[in-house]
């Protein structure tokens, strides 16, 4: 019996339900029922998914703190937006009575919707049980039909114990090649994967559908015999990680495969199941602090799949210092055996600058 069995079950179902909401928003955008304006679908999806996840956490773990990306201020002023989100939230469920019961059922009112969203305002820190939520990570990917992730992690005294990533546009098949998503008109068929990790208990994947528990499989990183044959993942956005430095590092490692660019923590999930090998996220800005909700779940899932995740100096990601990773710069994630070499080259390339 897992030491975090209840937390894991709630987290998986909560992410699954939130992912259903995000998919509805995407499809309604395509149909024109939600404005195609770039901001509105993201906003609707972000707020709706965050509210649904938090209501599940509050129903089960009322004492826990929550660090979530969004806040309700904008919704308090915009009643149209609020009503659109409320309509969506109140009509999104897992369509599985037992599972809905685990999540504590629906949100009761429009006021509760705002209350739920703002429960995510914890400052984080080194003490106690704190959940980190990114309701939609990879907003650009989400809008494009590319990769995005619904992200949830539980930290206890700053240590990530449970991590769950819902990736609606990643293939269910762990052996499928790396994909940047369904930008090219690919359908939902065979898509949608839920990744989980529990500290010291390994990492798994399963289809992002109700009743998929029996299809849960353990995942692990690919053992790379030769780093030169590796594939690395990086952000699509050049503003989020330094493509130039990453290309130089890859070249020095002898890597000739082109990088696979995808948005969101789908990168962590992809390397964890061996679809890719290395994730490089070298800083572009001297001042940007990475947010804990962008890394907590992925960091644990990769480590539980046999990887090592550090910053560019080789330090573990430090989730104890609040809502951001103020003590870290960048991310270097690779299979344990390859990580020292990758880090050495990262330091070499950055040292020359």
For the residues of 313-347, what is the DSSP string, one character each? TSPPP-TTSSSB-TT--SEEEEETTTHHHHHHHHH
Site for ligand A2P in 176-235 (CB under 6 A): 235
335 binds ligand A2P (CB under 6 A): no
Q: How many residues bind ligand A2P (CB under 6 A)?
A: 13
In the bound complex, what is the minimum distance in angstroms from residue 218's beta carbon to ligand A2P? 25
Q: Which does 201 bind (CB under 5 to 8 A by kind): ligand A2P, Mg ion, none?
A: none
Residue from 81, 284, 321, 337 in contact with ligand A2P (CB under 6 A): 284
70 binds ligand A2P (CB under 6 A): no
Determine the Cα–Cα distance for residues 233 and 170; give it in Å rounded to an integer: 14
| H or E element that contains 233 | strand 232-234
Site for ligand A2P in 253-282 (CB under 6 A): 263-264
Whether residue 139 lies in the annotated active site: yes
CB-based contacts of 301, cutoff 8 Å, min separation 6: 163, 165, 195, 196, 197, 203, 268, 269, 272
Q: Give the annotated binding-site residues.
A: 69, 134, 136-137, 294
| Choice among 139, 204, 231, 310 that is catalytic | 139
46 binds ligand A2P (CB under 6 A): no
263 binds Mg ion (CB under 5 A): no
Whether 299 contacts 165, CB under 8 Å: no
33 binds ligand A2P (CB under 6 A): no
Q: Give the annotated binding-site residues for Mg(2+).
A: 69, 134, 136-137, 294
CB-based contacts of 108, cutoff 8 Å, min separation 6: none
244 binds ligand A2P (CB under 6 A): no
299 binds Mg ion (CB under 5 A): no
Whether residue 38 lies in the annotated active site: no
Determine the Cα–Cα distance for residues 137 and 148; give it in Å rounded to an integer: 6
Is residue 96 classed exposed, middle or buried when 0-12, 13-18 and 19+ CB atoms within 10 A define those classes?
A: middle
134 binds Mg ion (CB under 5 A): yes
Residue 181 or 192 having the CB closest to ligand A2P: 181
Nearest CA to 164 among 320, 301, 310, 17?
301
Residue 118 or 263 having the CB closest to ligand A2P: 263
109 binds ligand A2P (CB under 6 A): no
Determine the Cα–Cα distance for residues 276 and 9; give it in Å rounded to an integer: 27
307 binds ligand A2P (CB under 6 A): no
CA distances from 269 to 44, 166, 191, 197 (A): 25, 9, 14, 10
Residue from 45, 138, 146, 335 in contact with ligand A2P (CB under 6 A): 138
Across the beta sheet with 149-156, the strand order is: 65-68, 129-137, 149-156, 159-171, 191-198, 202-207, 217-219
| Choice among 22, 43, 46, 245 that is catalytic | 46
Whether 24 contacts 94, CB under 8 Å: no
Strands (E), 46-198: 65-68, 129-137, 149-156, 159-171, 191-198
In the bound complex, what is the minimum distance in angstroms from residue 1's beta carbon to ligand A2P? 34
**Binding track, positions 83-122, relative to Mg ion; x by CB under 5 A:** ----------------------------------------
Residues within the interface to ligand A2P (CB under 6 A): 137-139, 235, 237, 239-240, 263-264, 284-285, 288, 294
Residues within the interface to Mg ion (CB under 5 A): 69, 134, 136-137, 294
**Residues classed as catalytic:** 46, 139
């Amino acid at each position: 019996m897992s030491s975090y069995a209840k937390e894991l079950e709630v987290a998986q179902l909560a992410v699954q339900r939130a992912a259903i909401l995000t998919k509805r928003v995407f499809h309604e955008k395509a149909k024109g029922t939600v404005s195609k304006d770039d901001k509105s679908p993201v906003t609707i999806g972000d707020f709706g998914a965050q509210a649904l996840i938090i209501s599940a956490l509050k129903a089960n773990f009322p004492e826990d703190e929550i660090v979530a990306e969004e806040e309700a201020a904008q919704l308090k002023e915009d009643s149209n937006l609020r009503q659109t989100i409320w309509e969506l939230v109140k009509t999104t469920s897992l369509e599985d009575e037992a599972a809905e019961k685990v999540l504590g059922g629906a949100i009761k009112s429009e006021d509760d919707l705002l209350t739920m969203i703002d429960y995510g305002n914890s400052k984080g820190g080194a003490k106690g049980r704190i959940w980190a939520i990114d309701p939609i990570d990879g907003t650009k990917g989400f809008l494009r039909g590319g990769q995005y992730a619904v992200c949830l992690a539980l930290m206890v005294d700053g240590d990530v114990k449970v991590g769950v990533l819902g990736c609606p546009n990643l293939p269910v098949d762990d052996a499928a090649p790396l994909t940047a998503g369904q930008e090219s008109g690919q359908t939902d068929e065979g898509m949608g994967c839920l990744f989980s990790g529990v500290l010291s208990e390994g990492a798994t994947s399963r289809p992002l559908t109700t009743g998929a528990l029996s299809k849960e499989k353990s995942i692990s990183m690919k053992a790379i015999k030769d780093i030169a044959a590796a594939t690395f993942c990086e952000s699509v956005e050049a503003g989020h990680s330094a493509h130039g430095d990453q290309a130089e590092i890859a070249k020095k490692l002898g890597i000739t495969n082109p990088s696979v660019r995808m948005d969101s923590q789908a990168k962590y999930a992809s390397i964890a199941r061996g679809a890719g090998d290395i994730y490089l996220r070298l800083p572009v800005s001297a001042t940007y602090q990475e947010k804990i909700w962008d890394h907590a779940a992925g960091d644990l899932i990769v480590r539980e799949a046999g990887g090592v995740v550090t910053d560019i100096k080789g330090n573990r990601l430090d989730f104890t210092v609040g809502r951001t990773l103020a003590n870290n710069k960048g991310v270097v994630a690779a299979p344990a055996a390859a990580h020292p070499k990758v880090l050495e080259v990262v330091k070499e390339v950055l040292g020359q600058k």
